[in-house]
């Protein structure tokens, strides 16, 4: 079989496009608040991770513009060489203080951040233990490490214990879990993970990409939510959700962060975060720290939508976050509902295997602190209309 044969045999995308049922790579022409323009039509966005509604905040946009004026549009180099700006250092110091840890390190993307942490820390003869529903960046980072990978069933503490008991007690071990799982919106059983981690001498990394800014009284993430901040060794976060920017970070003990900083290929051999993105993250951090009412509004929105979907008869799984999956089951009706919603002016994300288990296809919705009640009511009405038309709802 030739190298490119599989490319010519892949026809699913073309078939979906021909049927008008292709939901991916949609060009967005403009963004104003929680509405986007697609094909010159205004669409309500409930598929973004703009949890605090800061994507078009005036202060945030101005910070990005000012950074471009001062530093240009790019660093044209890695952090290791010429790509460290004073605002990179400022952001890391601010993040460490905000997250109440000794040190922080920023990386060009969230995906690369997990690569930087896991592939650098987990070496030959050591083990990394992962939830089977962990993000793809974690899975790929594990593949790049020289350690052995041991997955456990999603949020199943008995299975995690089974894995840990099977390992040599003297080897280095890292447990990696998502704080909020990005498709289902459920939380990791962090108390259970911490308990077993202590019993089996494991270090713990929490991927809080969907949690920082959202979870916890001060927005510090899943560990703060559970009151376990002192029990977590490393927290990873991204700037592409609540921070309305691009990039990632990890916080933890100073010596551990320094080791990652000086050994992580994903950091050393990649251009650093652009000036505008760093300035945006700094500006949004100010807002996260000083405007807790945004989180309060976000949770009010989340409660309204979850209650609304459930009262119609939709299944929303075990979500405890602003990520609310509407579980349909089969792929065909999932895509049909997606298309009906898009035609009604609602932007959602259909999710099928392998992003979710077979037979668990869903419409992933996610919400912002700045969604209006009027827009939310429109979304619910369209879901009800579509669900009844397709026979999903009675």
Decide if 146 contacts 123 (C-beta within 8 A). Answer: yes
Q: Are strands 35-38 and 323-329 parallel, antiparallel or unpaired?
A: unpaired
Q: List phi, psi (to 5°) of 351.
A: -130, 125
CB 316 within 8 A of CB 325: yes
Going by C-alpha positions, the residue among 334, 363, 335 that lies closest to residue 348 is: 363
Q: Which of 135, 241, 306, 371 is catalytic?
A: 241
Output the six-digit token pair for 375.
């827009």
- Residue from 48, 137, 145, 182 carrying the catalytic annotation: 182
Please tell me which residue in 88, 135, 203, 210 is annotated as part of the active site: 210
The Cα–Cα gap between 202 and 207 comes to 16
* Measured CA angle at 150 (ends 149, 151), to 5 deg: 115
> By three-state DSSP, how is residue 237 classified?
strand
Query: DSSP string spanning 131-187?
Result: ETT--HHHHHHHHHSSSEEEEE-TT-HHHHHHHHHHS-TTS-EEEEEESB-TTT-PB
Assess whether the previous peptide bond of 354 is cis (omega < 30° from 0): yes
182 is catalytic: yes
Residue 144 CA to its chain's centroid (Å): 21
User: Buried b / exposed e across 65-91, counting CB within 10 Å, b at 16+?
Assistant: eebeeebeeebeebbeeebbbebbeeb
- Give catalytic status of residue 203 as yes or no: no
**Sign of torsion, CA 162 165 170 175?**
positive
Answer yes or no: 78 catalytic: no
Helix, strand or coil for residue 316?
coil
For every residue of 37-96, which 3-state class applies, written as one string? EECCEEEEECCCCCCCCCCCCHHHHHHHHHHHHHHCCCCCCECCCCCCCHHHHHHHHHHH
| 210 and 321 Cβ atoms separated by less than 8 Å | yes
Q: Active-site positions?
A: 182, 210, 241
């Amino acid at each position: 079989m030739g190298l490119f044969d599989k490319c010519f045999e892949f026809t699913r995308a073309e078939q979906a496009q021909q049927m008008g049922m292709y939901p991916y790579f949609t060009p967005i022409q403009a963004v104003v608040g929680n509405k986007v323009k697609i094909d010159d039509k205004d669409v309500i966005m409930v598929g973004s991770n703009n949890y605090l509604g800061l994507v078009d905040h005036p202060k945030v946009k101005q910070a990005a513009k000012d950074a471009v004026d001062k530093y240009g549009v790019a660093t044209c180099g890695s952090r290791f060489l010429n790509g460290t700006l004073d605002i990179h250092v400022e952001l890391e110091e601010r993040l460490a203080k905000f997250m109440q840890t000794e040190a922080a390190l920023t990386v060009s993307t969230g995906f690369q951040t997990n690569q930087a942490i896991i592939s650098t820390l987990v070496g030959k003869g050591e083990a990394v233990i992962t939830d089977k529903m962990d993000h793809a960046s974690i899975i790929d980072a594990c593949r790049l490490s020289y350690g052995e990978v041991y997955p456990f069933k999603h949020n199943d503490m008995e299975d995690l214990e089974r894995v840990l008991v099977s390992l040599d007690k003297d080897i280095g071990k890292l447990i990696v879990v998502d704080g909020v799982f990005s498709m289902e919106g459920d939380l990791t059983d962090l108390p259970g993970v911490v308990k077993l981690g202590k019993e089996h001498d494991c270090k713990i990394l929490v991927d809080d990409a969907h949690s920082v800014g959202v979870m916890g009284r001060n927005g510090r993430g899943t560990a703060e939510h559970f009151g376990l901040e002192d029990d977590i060794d490393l927290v990873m976060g991204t700037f592409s959700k609540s921070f309305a920017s691009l990039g990632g970070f990890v916080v933890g003990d100073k010596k551990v962060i320094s080791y990652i900083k000086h050994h992580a290929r994903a950091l050393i051999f990649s251009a650093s975060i652009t000036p505008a993105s760093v300035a945006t993250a700094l500006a949004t951090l100010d807002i996260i720290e000083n405007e807790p009412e945004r989180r309060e509004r976000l949770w009010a929105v989340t409660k309204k939508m979850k209650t609304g979907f459930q009262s119609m008869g939709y299944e929303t799984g075990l979500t405890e976050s602003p990520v609310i999956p509407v579980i349909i089951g089969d792929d065909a009706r999932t895509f049909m509902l997606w298309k009906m919603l898009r035609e009604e002016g609602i932007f959602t994300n259909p999710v099928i295997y392998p992003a979710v288990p077979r037979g668990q296809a869903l419409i992933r919705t996610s919400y912002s602190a700045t969604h209006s009640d009027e827009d939310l009511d429109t979304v619910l009405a369209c879901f009800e209309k579509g669900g009844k038309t397709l026979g999903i709802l009675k």
